[in-house]
Amino acid sequence: MDKLYYVTTPIYYVNDLPHIGTAYTTVAADALARYHRLKGEGVYFLTGTDEHGQHVARAAERNGVSPKEWADRMVTHFTEVWRRLNISNDFFIRTTDPRHMEVARNFIQLLYDKGDIYLDTYEGWYCVPDESFWLPSQLVEGKCPQCGREVEMVQEENYFFRLSAYADRLLEHISSHPEFVQPDIRRNEVISFIRQGLADQSISRKTISWGIPLPFDESQVMYVWFDALLNYVSAIDYSLDEARFRGIWPADVHFIGKEILRFHAIVWPAMLMAADLPLPRQVFAHGWLTVEGEKMSKSKGNVISPHDLVDEYGVDAYRYYFLREFSFGYDGNFSRENMTGRYNADLANSLGNMVSRVLAMVERYRGGEVPGPGVEEAVDTALRESADLAVAEVDRCMERFAFNEALQAIWNFLASINRYVDETAAWDLAKDPDRSDRLDTVLYNQVEAVRLTALLVLPFMPATGEGIWERLGYRRSIHEHHLPAAAAWELFPPGQKVSKGAPLFPRKDAAR
Ligand code: ME8
């Protein structure tokens, strides 16, 4: 069997509720996973939660419950929001899963046995919310250089991973595999960071008890980042089921936010090299979203829950907006006005109205039964060609995770369909009984274009793809059809009955 296409999101800390930032990565990974399934490939899509560490222990304490109880309570917010956003993950990993803990212990033991782990004294700063160690020289005005919050002095005997020993190999790998860290700006950042010299990484904590005990020294627990990174291999049974592991690893892509690049593009590959495991094919770091121009933060009270937006716009409009509006890889700014504008222009008008118009015409002129096509004219050829172009272009864009460009290509096709509907003017043809054959062809082509639309939007807007498919009268699921074969023109079976159904995206009042 072919190796599965393996895509991951970061595993999110259970302390924060999921918000539009965490959902951004997850929705993008979902669209990618669904696109590969649409192409008939086997896919493994992983997300989950990061549950150990000092800040989780402290939050639990503040709330008067054990860390595990706290994690159990918080994790339901994640599973619930992913269900609502129609996230099709194949597994949900929790770092408190006994299997994960077993794999993490096997892994660290292996590195210890190979001599890549040693005991030393750590003295430096620690940012608890970010769970990151910092050297005095790295602090910015005495605060965490990452998040600007207070840091704490840590002085304890820790185990260290010989990260420095892998610097040359890492540089070599990144240089000879330009696709390994993307986008290029992140790749350059990683290269210059490694060139400055890598310090060995503390990978255990002595004064913390909420974590995975080290197998070779039960008085210490694994550093939460070492533990967390291992989720990518524990979920697929590294060291437990070799055949399963080899059928999925290496990851095709780890989607992450740019702030956790170093862990994924330096520490993680070095850990894998130390364990003699193949490296992921790519680490792709996307940008950060702001809200109405500001960084999201609990203290500002501007954190947006996906639930609120889904209540307001619906799940597919949510997914569409975030993938269409922002260029994956770069920072972006969320605004409600902008989302409403896109909803009305792109979804209510270009997509929703077009589907309704086309199906209403088949109902009106042919009692809902789609006629067979006749002789092709130039305008029909142009429509068919724009469909082919969209299918090819979407594939090229998805190859490089350019979700917004893929959607742009689909919307170019929708513009062609709308043009075709206007130019062929079925309503005029319907008045002339001599042009009945031509009307058949026009109606058929319009429906065929709607069929392709359903397939193309499916990874981005699964419920919409399914909803259009149903309106097209198919009994078998859209998920049984795969690209590129299903994109061939004239596959719609003449005689099948379609129905207009309810509007897909009712217009929104802009004055909200
Ligand atoms: O870092 N814009 O978890 P985390 C875009 N547990 N993406 C955002 C975002 C924003 N404003 N805010 C968060 C951790 N994200 C670790 C990861 S992985 C082995 C361990 C997304 O809960 C983005 O993907 O802080 C970012 O990398 C992630 O959430 C951080 O989630």
Q: Phi, psi at residue 182, to the nearest 5°?
A: -135, 155
- Cα-to-centroid distance, 128 and ligand 1 (Å): 15
Looking at ligand 1, which residue's alpha carbon is closest to its atom 8?
Answer: 21
Looking at ligand 1, which residue's alpha carbon is closest to its atom 19?
Answer: 229
With respect to residue 470, please indicate whether it lies within any of the assigned structural domains.
yes
**What CATH number is given to the structural domain containing 478?**
1.10.730.10
Which residue in 20, 56, 213 sits closest to 129, CA to CA? 56
The response to whether residue 474 sits with its C-beta less than 6 Å from ligand 1 reads no
For the CA of 9, the closest atom of ligand 1 is: 24
Cα–Cα distance measured from residue 189 to residue 187, given in angstroms and rounded to the nearest whole number? 5
- Cα-to-centroid distance, 123 and ligand 1 (Å): 27
The per-residue pLDDT for 278 is 98
Domain of residue 373, residue span: 336-487
For residue 361, give both structure tokens. Answer: 């015409």
Neighbours of 321 (CB within 10 A): 23
Cα–Cα distance measured from residue 189 to residue 181, given in angstroms and rounded to the nearest whole number? 10
Helix (H) or strand (E) holding 356: helix 354-366
Which residue in 113, 97, 93, 67 sits closest to 215, CA to CA? 113
With respect to residue 92, please indicate whether it lies within any of the assigned structural domains.
no
Looking at ligand 1, which residue's alpha carbon is closest to its atom 23?
Answer: 257
The domain total for the chain is 1
Q: Where are the beta strands (DSSP E) in 347-472?
A: none
- Cα-to-centroid distance, 441 and ligand 1 (Å): 51
The per-residue pLDDT for 303 is 94
Q: Record the pTM.
A: 0.97
With respect to residue 447, please indicate whether it lies within any of the assigned structural domains.
yes
The response to whether residue 12 sits with its C-beta less than 6 Å from ligand 1 reads yes
The per-residue pLDDT for 509 is 79
The response to whether residue 10 sits with its C-beta less than 6 Å from ligand 1 reads yes
With respect to residue 149, please indicate whether it lies within any of the assigned structural domains.
no
pLDDT along the chain (512 residues), means of 10: 94 95 98 98 98 95 96 98 98 98 98 98 90 89 90 93 98 97 98 95 94 98 97 98 98 97 98 98 97 88 96 98 96 95 97 98 98 96 98 98 98 98 98 97 98 98 98 97 97 98 90 50
- Cα-to-centroid distance, 491 and ligand 1 (Å): 43
Question: Any alpha helices (H) in 53-183, and if so which ranges?
Answer: 54-62, 67-84, 98-113, 167-176
With respect to residue 356, please indicate whether it lies within any of the assigned structural domains.
yes
For the CA of 258, the closest atom of ligand 1 is: 27
Looking only at the bridges linking them, the beta strands covering 204-205 and 217-222 are antiparallel
With respect to residue 408, please indicate whether it lies within any of the assigned structural domains.
yes
The response to whether residue 21 sits with its C-beta less than 6 Å from ligand 1 reads yes
C-alpha distances (whole Å) from 512 to each of 66, 95, 304, 339, 340 are 43, 41, 16, 11, 9
With respect to residue 438, please indicate whether it lies within any of the assigned structural domains.
yes
Chain CA centroid to CA 443, Å: 37
The response to whether residue 28 sits with its C-beta less than 6 Å from ligand 1 reads no
